[in-house]
Structure 1
Amino acid sequence: MTRLLHLSDLHFGFERVALVEPLLDRINGANPDLVVVTGDLTHRARRAQFAQAAEFLRRIEAPLIAVPGNHDIPLYRLADRMMKPFRRYRRHIAENLEPIGHVGALRVQGLNSVDPMSWQRGMLSAAQMRRVTEALAPDCINIVALHHPMQQRPEVDKQLMRGAREGLALFEMQGVQLVLSGHLHRWSAGAFLGPDGRQILQVQAGTALCARRDDRQNEFAELEFDQDALLIRRHVAPMDETGFRPPQELRFQRRDRLWHPA
């Protein structure tokens, strides 16, 4: 059994301050094998915000990988965004923007989906898609972690990332089993499976710490893998409550290479 925690959209600089310690307690109390953070560690990519985010990550006791989100590059300083968009991220968080986490039977490939030319939308290039498919491990559950989702519900009003459709089709054909993303501040797990299942299960995280009242809640996900069975525990902290509620549970099963709700 291998346990992975998925966090996204911390937004330090506009974080829910009172939830920082309860979140750390939940993370470390879960004793995960790996923590994956899918971007937007800061709200406006400022030095002080990156320092806050880095201090938070240092207090996580498990191995950790993170990828940037669009809020982790400058928005208003156009010269910096074009010429050195990830300078502060590299200095404070990690030099590698596309890290790999490998624990037990899980292999997690981080992807940098941030596009400095189109601040919010994001992009996945053909070269990135190739790197993922060429490095797939046949004996592992292959997971891709990136900030921007590769599929969206019809009611979402943000543009889908460039390259998302092509990347999703290629990943599914080549054997990626799971995609972790964030960006929308909306939870979704298994929404795109279809009645007959699907080879890729997508888990879109809500926001772990952003204080925007319209989000209504903060949350993160705990994924527990046991061979072809997956248990997801969704930890939710409503904005009008002081901490996290007991986790909600969802179960999925892989049969004949397809994921199904269990």
Structure 2
Amino acid sequence: MTRIVHLSDLHFGFHRDELVAPLLDRVNRADAGLVVVTGDLTHRGRPGQFQQAAEFLDRIRPPVLAVPGNHDVPLYNMPIRFLLPWGGYRQAIGPELAPVAATGSARVLGLNSVDQFSWQRGVVRPDQLARLLGGLDPLATNIVALHHPLQQLPGVDKQLARRAPETLQCLEQRGVSIVLSGHLHVWAAAALLNRGHPHLLQIQAGTSLCARLGDLQNEFAVLDIDGENLTIERHIAPMDTQDFRPPARSRLRLCADGWRPADPDDLVAF
């Protein structure tokens, strides 16, 4: 079995400080082979915020794969934002903006979806997508990690990343099994399977640490991959608590006609 922890939208600089230790404790006790962080490690891309994020990542015991989010480039320093947008991220978090890692039966491929010329909207660049496709392993469970979702549920008021539909179709055709993303601060997974891409499970994480009260809760997910079977645990901490509740679990299986719930009752919270 392969275990992966999925964190997103930490927003250091505007984060729930009282939840940092409980989150670290849960992540480290999960005994995962890899921790994936899908962007927005900082709130404004400032040096002190990057330092906080780096110190947090250093306390995670398993290997970490992180990709940047739109909040990880400077907002107000326009010359740096446009000319050297990744300087702070590379110095504090790591030199790779689209890292690749393997753990157990899974191969995780990062994709940098941030457009430094747009505040929120992301983009999938053709050269980066081509590089990612060249790194897929036909013998592994291929997982793509990026900040911006490639599909959104009705009612989402943010613009979809440019080239997202084409990217989604391409990844499914090439056999990618799972896409991990964040950005919206709202969980979505099984609800997206009926929107045209049943073979590609899109797991859109909520925010792990952001202190924005309107988000209502913080959360992270644990994925257990066992062949064609997947178990997802959602660990949720409501804003009025200082720790995570016992996880809710969902089980899915990748069948010939796509991902299907092992038990439809499992998907109430997914």
TM range (shorter): over 0.9
What residue in structure 1 maps to residue 161 of structure 2?
A: 161
Unaligned runs of 5+ in 1: none
What residue in structure 1 maps to residue 50 of structure 2?
A: 50
- How many residue pairs were aligned? 262
Q: Which piece of structure 1 moves more, 85-94 or 250-259?
A: 250-259
TM-score normalised to structure 2 length: 0.95
Q: Does 1:245 align with 2:245?
A: yes
What residue in structure 2 maps to residue 205 of structure 1?
A: 205
Distance verdict in 2 for CA 1:197–1:86, change over 3 Å: closer
Partner of 2:128, secondary structure, is: helix
Runs of 4+ in structure 1 off by over 3 angstroms are none
TM-superposition CA deviations, 1:137-185 (whole Å, max 9, x none): 0110001000000000110000000010010011111111110000000
Q: Which piece of structure 1 moves more, 197-206 or 135-144?
A: 197-206
8 Å contact 2:81–2:116 — kept in the other structure?
Answer: yes
CA shift, 1:195, in A, is 8.8
State how far apart, in whole Å, the 2-side matches of 1:192 and 1:251 are.
15
Q: Which amino acid in the other structure matches residue 107 of structure 1?
A: R
TM-superposition CA deviations, 1:28-86 (whole Å, max 9, x none): 01111100000000000010000000000000000111000000001111111100001
CA shift, 1:257, in A, is 6.3
What residue in structure 1 maps to residue 129 of structure 2?
A: 129
Distance verdict in 2 for CA 1:196–1:98, change over 3 Å: closer
State how far apart, in whole Å, the 1-side matches of 2:148 and 2:196 are.
26
Distance verdict in 2 for CA 1:172–1:144, change over 3 Å: same
Q: Does 1:31 align with 2:31?
A: yes
State how far apart, in whole Å, the 2-side matches of 1:102 and 1:76 are.
37
Percent identity over the alignment is 56
What residue in structure 1 maps to residue 21 of structure 2?
A: 21
Distance verdict in 2 for CA 1:196–1:56, change over 3 Å: closer
CA shift, 1:133, in A, is 1.8
Q: Which amino acid in the other structure matches residue 245 of structure 1?
A: R
Q: Which amino acid in the other structure matches residue 103 of structure 2?
A: V
TM-superposition CA deviations, 1:84-107 (whole Å, max 9, x none): 001000000000110001011100
Distance verdict in 2 for CA 1:106–1:179, change over 3 Å: same
Partner of 1:219, secondary structure, is: strand
Distance verdict in 2 for CA 1:219–1:79, change over 3 Å: same
CA shift, 1:255, in A, is 1.2
8 Å contact 1:235–1:246 — kept in the other structure?
Answer: yes
State how far apart, in whole Å, the 2-side matches of 1:196 and 1:80 are.
40
8 Å contact 1:197–1:259 — kept in the other structure?
Answer: no
8 Å contact 2:41–2:68 — kept in the other structure?
Answer: yes
